[in-house]
Each structure stands twice: as structure tokens, then as C-alpha cells.
Amino acid sequence: MKNKIFGLALLATGLISLPSCDSYFDDVPNNATTLDDIFQNRGQALGWLTNIYSFYPDNTNRYAENTAMYWNSGSIEGYLPWDWVETHDIVQGSLTPSTGFVQRLWKQYYIGITNCNIYMEKINMCDPMPENEKIITKAEARAFRAYFYLNLMKLFGPVPLMGDRVSSNDDPISMYQMPRNTVDECFDYIIKEFKEVLDQKVLMSTFGGDGAYDDKTKGSLTQEAVEMLLCDAYLFRASYLYNGDEYYQNLANFDGTKLFPQERDEQKWRDLKTQAKKIIDSGLYKLVYRDTQDRQVALAQSCPFKSVFYASFGTPTNEELIYGRTNASKETYALVPRFSGLPSNYDKGAGALTIPLEFVDLYFTNKGMKIEDDPDYFKYDTSNPPTAARGTAAIIQTTEYKDPISGHSYFKPVSAGGAVSYKGPTSIMKQFYNREARFYLAVSFQNRPWDFQGGAAIQMQYNGNSGSDGNTHDYPIFGTIVRKNYYSKTAGSWDMSVEYRLAEVYLDYAEACAELANSAVELEEALKYVNDIRSRAGIAQYGLNAGDNGKDVRNQQKVILPAYDKETVLKAIYRERILELAYENKHYFDVRRWSVADGTWRGGAAMTDGWVYPSYHVGGEGGDMTGFNVNNVGQTAENVNVNFYKRIKQQDRVFTKRMSLLPIPQEEVNRNKQCVQNNEW
């Protein structure tokens, strides 16, 4: 039965293959033998559309499948230790055009595109479906098709555009020997599709007549969601990688057609600026502000931690949520510490999604300063921490730490003894005090109490309850664990993963303002929106210029940038985006579209200014990755309590410029003789 259906809809090039919709066709009644049969039935037709929705990537599941990848572990944000994790090919530099996930992502997105084309062609024959429903769902399928192309562009660069084609086995092979369209052709098509869907004004609204979130639209591609997708398309079209990057200027089809723009186009940034401001000015969304009791309040009464916590929380009560994916796995096993030996009432996981210290060190201090710029940030000899003979109090302490603005308790060191027996001290390293709220949202560190489970200390040293014992892979090799996206069991039901939110639009707008800036006034406009993000996180705003050195809206001393030129302001925006949107599947793509992932400023000088990567780090997404001494190398009786805090190289990662884009799958290049490969693959 399935073969009969698919006989009407295969691409001979291999862009589409037989198993494209097994998950859907498993539920098709036995009397449905053709596509026409399916689209004679309203329920089955809507089932086809539901299947299209399943191609929206679920990037919350470490078991990546379909269009999904666990991008956090493919960037400097983190690492998963298990052998089967596909992002190992990225960080280890073993990626090739024949790598399995490269083929999978290419194939699955084109399957999704073809399924959209089938729906749009066939839905008009579905007599049981009301006409207005046909119009709405056809618009959804059209928007999804554009979104799938956008994701292909993010991953592979320019790709062949299939148009409305629904293929037949009778089509000649020559019909599918297709060159890649240019970057501009691809983005023009994607943007045109989004805009024409929006101009129809037929999609549902996220909001009801009273302006409140309408639960019936949860997970749907609404009018507002497509406005955000259009903004994202403008962002990537304008970005350096796709808008004048010299590295790709000579990439051409076999007929000599250059695939990438040969020079920067300022209008692309103006288009982004206009679209981002349109979303901001719509008044539909607000930055999340919560007090210590989880109540919606104004900025002045807000708690920085509660505010950043709820901003990334996938529920309809998140007033800055623009689009959330339903049916996401929201997998947390890799985030929850292993807690070996603790009582059975403790939630237990692997605690294996771990953070290189190169990323940990990017979080600001509670003054809103880089750690190297804050004179009060604790520093020590990282290769030889103070020992008992010299006073361990020089490096660790047992004081509770509360947010200086709201009084929210970030941690209170756990006392030894009681119901849980601990190995070693439970005091906290001084470097983990006096950091910003987003640090405490994102990072589980040594001896931090797991305050969702009665305050058990997370101990990541060798033979600690969440460390290595020499017999398991379920431990954090860097001596840190990702905490963001694990939500308290008392915080309510979170039924969506956050895909887009207002803070991202603020940062899109700020980036566009800075890229277009020809005056100090335009740079100040960019910094205003960055400052709104910083204030919410409880850290000091930037002065808008070198003379703006007073107090900010929270009565904190403003931070003065080292310079007020376009490059410095851009880097300040980049840093804010890295921290605000950490672990929301943005970083992997952002550093590539900025053309900084190789550790240079767009192919030029090495970045040693500490904005995008720590000043001590060389190689960007590649190079040495450092962690704490989880295997207690060099332990002695004297240093046993502080030996963990040695910083040791744990990985040597690989990143080269060609990795800005994935290679075109070798299978596709072999089949489609018109399809050229990306640079250096």
C-alpha cells in the first residue's frame, strides 16, 4: 500500500526516499491506496499536515532523529560523552560529506518540503474539508516549506529550490539534475513565501480577542509565529556569512554562476531592522519580570533569577514567548546529576552534559563586567590551587550567596553528615560567588546544592556522587553540568520548548542597528535594547557613550565599553546574545553566521579581546577545552580538598573555516551531477 502511494511522489535524485512518511502511513487505513484516497478524507488529510509539523526539529532530545540535532553539544556550550552522540563528528573534526547526520538532515528537510508540496496540491480535492480550513492549512504548509528551506540554508548554504513540484516515477532523470540556487535566490524565495502567507491574513492568531494567549493555537504556525520566522530569515540573509564573506565568494556552479554575494548589501540589514522593530512595536509581547514569589511585576520589583528563569520557560504564561514547539521531548536525563549512593527519593540522571570552562568564563560577574575586568572577581593559581598548608579558605568558603538585588538565595552550602554522607568538603569555590543570574540558571558547579531535591550537594570529583569512578561514562568531563532547561517540579507544567522569544528580537534589532550605524546616535539605539536585556538579568547597563558613567535604572554603576565604535558595540551585542540565549540552540549557528567560529574576526586577526571567546582561548569553537580536575590527577594528602580545582586540558577540538557550513552529502553530489560541493569538502 505504501509503495503505491509513494509511486506518485518520489524524487529520482534521492532528495526524497521511500521511508519519508512511515510514521504517518502506519496509521493510514488499509483501504487508502493512493494519495488521492488520503485527500478524500478530512481526518487523513489533517494527519498529513500533522506529519509536516513533525519535521519542525525537536532539538531537546539527545537522541537526534528526523530533522533534529542536539546542537548544544556541538558547540563550545557543552559536550556529551557517549560514543553514539553525532555531534562528536563536529567537535572532533571527523565530519565528512558521508557522515550519517549530514545525509539525514538534508534528506529529511527535503522530505518535509515534498510533503508540503503534496499537501498544497492535493488539499483542494478534499470535499469534506470546509473551504476556509483548506485555505488556512494550505498557508501553514506553505510557511513550513519556507521554514524548511531556511533551515537548509543555515546548515548547508544555498540549495536547489524545488518550487511546487510533486514528482512522479515517470519523470525523466534529467529533470532532477539541478544546480544549487544562489544565496540571494534562496533567501528571496523564502522571504517571498513568508510574506505572501502573511499578506493572506488567514493564519490563526496566537492571541484571543481579549489579547490573552489562546491555548488552542499552542504549537501552531500562527500569523505571529510566521512574522518571527520572517525576522529570522532576514537575520541570516543579512549576516556576514551570507552577505559578503570573502571565503565563499568564489564558490560557483559548474556554469560559473557565483553562489554567494560578492559584496555586502546594507539593505538586508535595513530589512531586518524594520521587521524586528515591527515585532517589538506590536505590543504583543513583553520581557518577563518576576519577583521572588513568581508573580508578574515591573522591573523595579523583579528578581533577576526568577525573571531569566521564566523567560526561558515554555508555557503560555511566558509573556515574551513568540513560538514554542509542542511535543518536544524536553529530555533532562543529561542535566540531572547522577547522585550515586544517594537515597532513592532523589531524581537521578547522568549529569553528563558538561560545559567547558571556556564557556563558563564568559558569564559576567554580578556587576555586569567580564571576569578579567572586575577587580573583585576571585583569582587563583589554576594549576596549583592553595592547599591546606596555605589555607584552603583562600579558595573555598561556606557562606550562603543571595542575589544582591532581590535576596533570592542562589545556594547555601550543604552541611556534611545527616541523611546523606559526603566525601570531602561541601564548601563552594569563591569563583562561583558574585556571578550574574544567568550563570546560576545555566551552570551546576562543584558542591552546588541541587535545590529541587532537598539540597543534595553535586560532587563531581573522582568517586563523588556525580563524578567519575573509572567505570562509567555518566559524569561531566569538565566538572560542570548544564542546568538551564531543567525546571523545578513546583514550577508547573511546561509543555513547549522555547523556539523564539522577545529577547531574541531585541538582540536582532540591536545587531541590525549596530551593523547600520554611521553615528554615535545609532550605536546608542543598539545599546538601549542590549541594556534592557542586561537590566532584566540584574547586571549593570552599558553607558551609551564614554561620558555616560552614572547609575542605571537599578541604581548600579554603568559599565563603560573600551570603545564606542561599530566593532566593539557589535561584540558587546554578540556576548549578550551568547549568554541570554545559551542552550536555546542559537550559539552553534550564531558564531558561524558572524564568521567568528574559527577564533578570528571574520578571517582577520585573532580575537583576544575576550568578547566572544575568553581572551586566553585560541581557536574559537576549536582549540583546547579546559575543565576541572575530575580525575584528581596529582592528588596528595595535602591538596585533597582543593585538587579538583586545578584546570586541566580535557579536549582538543577542531574547527576550520570550512565548517561554517556542513558539506553537501556525498550521496547527493554523486546522484545530482549539477550539485557542487561546499568549499574544501
Q: What is the pLDDT averaged over residues 27-46?
A: 79
Q: Any idea how long the chain is?
A: 681
The three-state secondary structure class of 429 is strand
8 Å CB contact between 499 and 326: no
DSSP 8-state code for residue 395: T
- pLDDT value of position 329: 82
**C-alpha to C-alpha distance for 144 and 56, rounded to whole angstroms:** 8
Q: What is the pLDDT averaged over residues 415-428?
A: 75
Q: How confident is the model at residue 331 (pLDDT cuts 50, 70, 90)?
A: confident
Q: How confident is the model at residue 601 (pLDDT cuts 50, 70, 90)?
A: very high
Long-range contacts (CB closer than 8 Å, 24 or more residues apart) made by 206-213 = 206/284, 206/322, 207/284, 213/316, 213/317
Cell matching residue 282: 506590536
Q: What is the pLDDT averaged over residues 462-471?
A: 92
Q: How confident is the model at residue 23 (pLDDT cuts 50, 70, 90)?
A: very low
Residue 27 reports pLDDT greater than 50: no
Q: What is the pLDDT averaged over residues 44-55?
A: 97
> Higher confidence at residue 423 or residue 508?
508
Q: How confident is the model at residue 26 (pLDDT cuts 50, 70, 90)?
A: very low
- pLDDT value of position 2: 38
Residue type, 674: Q
Helices 266-281 and 223-238 meet at what angle, rounded to 10?
150
Q: What is the pLDDT averaged over residues 171-178?
A: 80
Residue 492 reports pLDDT greater than 80: no
Residue 144 reports pLDDT greater than 70: yes
Residue 56 reports pLDDT greater than 50: yes
The percentage of the chain sitting over the pLDDT mark of 70, rounded to a whole number, equals 93
**C-alpha to C-alpha distance for 154 and 511, rounded to whole angstroms:** 18
- pLDDT value of position 415: 80
8 Å CB contact between 263 and 252: no
**Helix ranges (DSSP H) in 488-647:** 502-516, 520-536, 566-580, 587-593
- pLDDT value of position 4: 34
Q: What is the pLDDT averaged over residues 540-559?
A: 97
Cell matching residue 207: 492571541
Residue 172 reports pLDDT greater than 90: no
Residue type, 281: D
Give whichever of 30-34, 472-476, 542-546 has the largest mean pLDDT.
542-546
What backbone torsions phi and psi does residue 14 show, to the nearest 5 degrees?
Answer: 95, 0
8 Å CB contact between 287 and 311: yes
Task: Classify 434 in phi/psi space as left (phi over 0), alpha (psi -120 to 50) or beta.
Answer: left
Cell matching residue 60: 531537546
Cell matching residue 312: 526561558
- pLDDT value of position 87: 96
- Give the H or E element holding residue 293: none
Model pLDDT for residues 101-130, shown as the tens digit of each residue: 999 999 999 999 999 999 999 999 999 999
Residue 464 reports pLDDT greater than 80: yes
Cell matching residue 543: 553607558
- pLDDT value of position 22: 39
Lowest mean pLDDT among 56-65, 404-413, 574-583: 56-65
Q: How confident is the model at residue 334 (pLDDT cuts 50, 70, 90)?
A: very high
Chain centroid offset of residue 524 CA: 27
Residue 6 reports pLDDT greater than 90: no
Q: How confident is the model at residue 327 (pLDDT cuts 50, 70, 90)?
A: confident
What backbone torsions phi and psi does residue 252 show, to the nearest 5 degrees?
Answer: -140, 155
Lowest mean pLDDT among 8-17, 350-359, 397-406: 8-17
Q: For residue 9, which of 120, 145, 167 has the smallest C-alpha distance? A: 167
**C-alpha to C-alpha distance for 371 and 356, rounded to whole angstroms:** 16
**C-alpha to C-alpha distance for 519 and 231, rounded to whole angstroms:** 25
**C-alpha to C-alpha distance for 148 and 67, rounded to whole angstroms:** 9
Residue 491 reports pLDDT greater than 80: no
What backbone torsions phi and psi does residue 104 show, to the nearest 5 degrees?
Answer: -60, -50
Lowest mean pLDDT among 57-61, 71-75, 240-244, 281-285: 57-61
Task: Classify 10 in phi/psi space as left (phi over 0), alpha (psi -120 to 50) or beta.
Answer: beta
8 Å CB contact between 78 and 61: no
Q: What is the pLDDT averaged over residues 174-184?
A: 91
Q: What is the pLDDT averaged over residues 650-671?
A: 97
Residue 480 reports pLDDT greater than 80: yes
- pLDDT value of position 32: 57
Lowest mean pLDDT among 9-23, 54-68, 445-459, 544-558: 9-23
- pLDDT value of position 10: 34
- pLDDT value of position 418: 59
- pLDDT value of position 5: 36
**C-alpha to C-alpha distance for 232 and 150, rounded to whole angstroms:** 9
- pLDDT value of position 17: 34
Burial label, 212 (beta-carbon count in 10 A; 0-12, 13-18, 19+): exposed
What backbone torsions phi and psi does residue 505 show, to the nearest 5 degrees?
Answer: -65, -40
**C-alpha to C-alpha distance for 25 and 44, rounded to whole angstroms:** 10
> Higher confidence at residue 243 or residue 493?
243
Widest pairwise Cα distance in the chain: 84
- pLDDT value of position 7: 32
**C-alpha to C-alpha distance for 490 and 452, rounded to whole angstroms:** 8
Q: How confident is the model at residue 637 (pLDDT cuts 50, 70, 90)?
A: confident
Residue 520 reports pLDDT greater than 80: yes
- pLDDT value of position 62: 84
Lowest mean pLDDT among 59-73, 235-249, 588-602, 621-635: 59-73
Q: How confident is the model at residue 29 (pLDDT cuts 50, 70, 90)?
A: very low
- pLDDT value of position 296: 97
Sign of CA dihedral 538, 544, 545, 550: negative
Average pLDDT, rounded, for the chain = 91
- pLDDT value of position 419: 61
Q: What is the pLDDT averaged over residues 29-49?
A: 85
- pLDDT value of position 24: 38
Lowest mean pLDDT among 131-140, 168-177, 426-435, 452-461: 168-177
Q: What is the DSSP string of 191-256?
A: HHHHHHHHHHT-SPPSB-TTSSB-GGGTTS--HHHHHHHHHHHHHHHHSGGGTT-GGGTT-B-TTS
Judging by DSSP bridges, how do beta strands 623-628 and 496-501 pair with one another?
Answer: unpaired
Q: How confident is the model at residue 390 (pLDDT cuts 50, 70, 90)?
A: low
pTM above 0.75? yes
8 Å CB contact between 533 and 503: yes
Residue 19 reports pLDDT greater than 50: no
**C-alpha to C-alpha distance for 591 and 604, rounded to whole angstroms:** 15
- pLDDT value of position 3: 34
8 Å CB contact between 630 and 479: yes
